[in-house]
Amino acid sequence: MTSLGLPFQITASDGAARRGRLATAHGVVNTPAFMTVGTAGTVKGLTTEQVAATGAEIILGNTYHLMLRPGAERVAAQGGLHRFMNWPGPILTDSGGFQVMSLEELRKLTEDGVTFRSHLDGTPYDLTPERAVEIQALLDADITMVLDECTPFPATEEVARHSMERSMRWAARSKAAFIRRPGYGLFGIVQGSIYPALRVKSAAALREIGFDGYAVGGLAVGEGQQAMFETLDVTVPELPVERPRYLMGVGKPADIVGAVRRGIDMFDCVLPTRSGRTGQAFTRRAVLNLMNARHRDDPRPLDPDCPCPTCADYGRAYLHHLFKAKEMLGPILLTRHNLHHYQQLMASLRQAIEAGRLEDFVAEFERQQAEGDLAPL
């Protein structure tokens, strides 16, 4: 790789949906892509080999958590996050803005950045746009995110405007601090809550600065699916066609399918891993609660058409037993299945776009979701 930044090639399209390839220093990401969340340098319960076996090509780490523990400089001394956690593929790091903003009483927001106290031990920290970019460079992230202020929801239009404008100033400072090199890139983040005019203004400001990719932030925070889709309908057309588009923190399979139809290329969400730890399994027809007594005598796999090791080797009755007995194997098996399910969904979306049959895929997806889980045998 000789060119600076992140080469992105759109290989097929179907309506607004795109099929692409994003080249990074640590490998190619096929889009639409779901980024498995490994917040603190680990996808909870799984080895990186198991994560890769689900079909994942890229994972997400988090600046806030890694700067607190073990520390960005310590990770850099170990050769960077790829070597530290034994993940050879691409890594995107969230700048930590969302986590810092959620601290509320523990943080103070100024034009310079955010001063906050660690939720672990109360140690004070300063996080500026420049420091956020520096930390992500120390982690050796292929994709660095600008530091932004995640606007709370709900927010008045005036509050959202001030928040968005500050984020745009921070985006310019993040760009100035970022050191360009082959295979590495910086993404800007569109803010503006659910206000169309603010989203358009934010996108224009980011285009003027210029980024390797454009994220849509501040959604999936309680506004509901319809408002999220309406915001995407306004925002996505304002983003450069030739650059990847990333919808942050989304989401449920139906959210992902709807966003792909609207031209989004990249996603991340803790839902498949968090749900796996709490006994919830995603299938083509339903979200199953394995704690439910109806599964205790059911020998069927979670999904008879799923090729993952969990579905191939274990039945619902056994998984129900593991969760009722609080055995650690239960969350491991369910997390592995959920991640595989999400990656299968992304692969199916890519195939549908390539074949020009995305609307047929969406119709079948919605039919299966409406059908629900089959009655136990």
Structure tokens of 190? Answer: 């569109």
Tell me the average pLDDT across 209-235: 97
- Sorted by where each starts, the structural domains of the chain and their CATH numbers stand as 8-269 (3.20.20.105), 276-366 (no CATH)
Checking if the pLDDT of 299 tops 60, the result is: yes
pLDDT band of residue 374 (cuts 50, 70, 90) is low
Q: What is the pLDDT of residue 2?
A: 41
pLDDT band, very low/low/confident/very high, at 266 (cuts 50, 70, 90): very high
Encode pLDDT of 96-152 as tens digits: 888 877 877 778 999 999 998 988 999 999 999 999 999 999 999 999 999 999 898
Strand partners, 286: none
Question: At residue 3, does pLDDT exceed 80?
Answer: no
- Positions annotated as catalytic residues are 94, 268
Averaged pLDDT, 62-84 = 97
Place of tokens 């069927």: 300
Q: If you average pLDDT over residues 343-348, what whole number do you get? A: 98
pLDDT in tens, 240-250: 999 999 999 99
Q: pLDDT band for position 376 (50/70/90)? A: very low
Per-residue confidence (pLDDT) for residue 310, from 0 to 100 = 98
Q: Burial of 145 by CB count in 10 Å (0-12 exposed, 13-18 middle, 19+ buried)?
A: buried
Say which residue, 3 or 95, is predicted with more confidence. Answer: 95
Q: Is the dihedral of CA 339, 342, 346, 348 positive or negative?
A: positive
- Give the strand pairing for 287-289 and 280-282: antiparallel
How is 89-123 classified by DSSP, letter by letter? Answer: S-EEEE-SHHHHHTTGGGEEE-SS-EEEE-TTT--
Reported as a pLDDT band with limits 50, 70 and 90, residue 52 is: very high
Q: Give the dihedral of Cα atoms 130, 131, 137, 142; nearest 10 deg.
A: -70
CA distance 167 to 129: 10
Tell me if 59 sits within 8 A of 25, measured CB to CB. no
Dihedral sign, CA of 179, 180, 183, 184? positive
CA-wise closest residue to 283 among 248, 252, 250: 252
Looking at the predicted structure, is the pLDDT value of residue 83 above 90?
Answer: yes
Within the chain, strands assigned E span 8-14, 17-24, 27-31, 33-37, 59-62, 91-94, 107-109, 114-117, 124-127, 143-145, 185-190, 213-216, 245-247, 266-268, 280-282, 287-289
Average pLDDT, stretch 256-280? Answer: 98
Main-chain dihedrals φ then ψ at residue 15, nearest 5 degrees: 65, -130
Average pLDDT, the chain: 96
User: Rounded to the nearest 10 degrees, how much is the dihedral formed by the CA atoms of 99, 150, 276, 336?
Assistant: -90
| Token pair in block for residue 106 | 């523990």
